[in-house]
A and B are shown apart, each in its own frame.
Chain A
Amino acid sequence: MGALALPVGRAHGPSFGRRQALLEKLAGLGLALPATILLVLTSLLPLVVLVVMTFTDYELGNLAASYVGAANFMKAIGDPVFRRSLWNTLLYVAIVLPGSVGLGLLVAILVHGRKRTRSFYEIVYFLPVTSTLIAMATVWTFLLHPKLGPINTFLRMIGAGEHAFLSDPALALPTLAVIGMWQLIGFNMVLFLAGLSAIPRDLYEAAEIDGCAGAVDRFLTITWPLLGPTTMFVIITTSITAFKVFDTVAVMTRGGPMGSSEVLLYSLYLEGFQYFHTAYAAALTVIFLAFILVFSVIQAFVLERRVHY
Chain B
Amino acid sequence: MAAGRDPDARATPARALLRRAVSGVLVHGFLLTGAVFMLLPFVWMLITSIKPPDEIFRATLSLWPRQFYGVENYRFALTSAPLLRFAANGVLVCAGILAAQLLVAIPCAYALAKLRFPGRQALFVLTLLVLAIPVQVPALPLYIALANLNLLNTYFSMMVPFFLSAFAIFLLRQFFKSFPDDIINAARLDGMGEFEIVWRIVTPSALPAIGAFAVFSVVAHWNDLYWPLIVISDAKLAPPPLGMMFFADAETGSNYGALTAAATILTAPLVVVFLFARRHFIAGITMTGVK
Asked if B241 lies at the interface with its beta carbon under 8 angstroms from chain A, I say yes
Query: Which stretch of B65-73, B91-99, B203-211, B264-272 is in the interface?
Result: B264-272
Of the candidates B31, B56, B145, B270, which one forms a contact with A111 in the assembled complex, judged by CB atoms under 8 Å apart? B31
Interface residues of A, count at CB 8 A: 112
Cβ-closest chain B residue relative to A45: B141
- The answer to whether A127 and B38 have CB atoms under 8 Å apart is yes
Docked Cα-Cα span, A251 to B223, in Å, equals 14
Chain B contacts for A124, CB-based, 8 A? 35, 38-39
- The answer to whether A132 and B7 have CB atoms under 8 Å apart is no
The total number of A-B Cβ pairs within 8 Å is: 314
Asked if A122 lies at the interface with its beta carbon under 8 angstroms from chain B, I say yes
Chain B contacts for A115, CB-based, 8 A? 2
Q: Given A50-B138, A208-B3, A289-B133, A135 and B240 touching (CB < 8 A)?
A: yes
Asked if A303 lies at the interface with its beta carbon under 8 angstroms from chain B, I say yes
Q: Given A147-B59, A153-B60, A122 and B282 touching (CB < 8 A)?
A: yes
- The answer to whether B267 and A131 have CB atoms under 8 Å apart is yes
Asked if B64 lies at the interface with its beta carbon under 8 angstroms from chain A, I say no
**Chain A 29-48 interface mask (CB, 8 Å, partner B; 1/0):** 11110111011001111110
List the interface of chain B (C-beta within 8 A of A): 1-4, 7, 23, 27-28, 30-31, 34-35, 37-42, 44-45, 48, 56-57, 59-61, 103-105, 107-108, 110-112, 114-120, 123, 126-128, 130-134, 136-145, 147, 160-161, 163-164, 166, 169, 174, 181, 184-185, 188-189, 193-195, 198, 219, 222-223, 225-226, 229-230, 240-242, 244-245, 248, 253, 256, 259-260, 262-263, 266-267, 270-271, 274-275, 278, 281-282, 285-286, 289-291
Can you sample 15 A-B contacts with CB below 8 Å? A27-B195, A32-B117, A32-B119, A39-B164, A42-B138, A111-B31, A113-B2, A115-B2, A127-B271, A134-B225, A136-B267, A138-B244, A142-B256, A272-B143, A299-B290
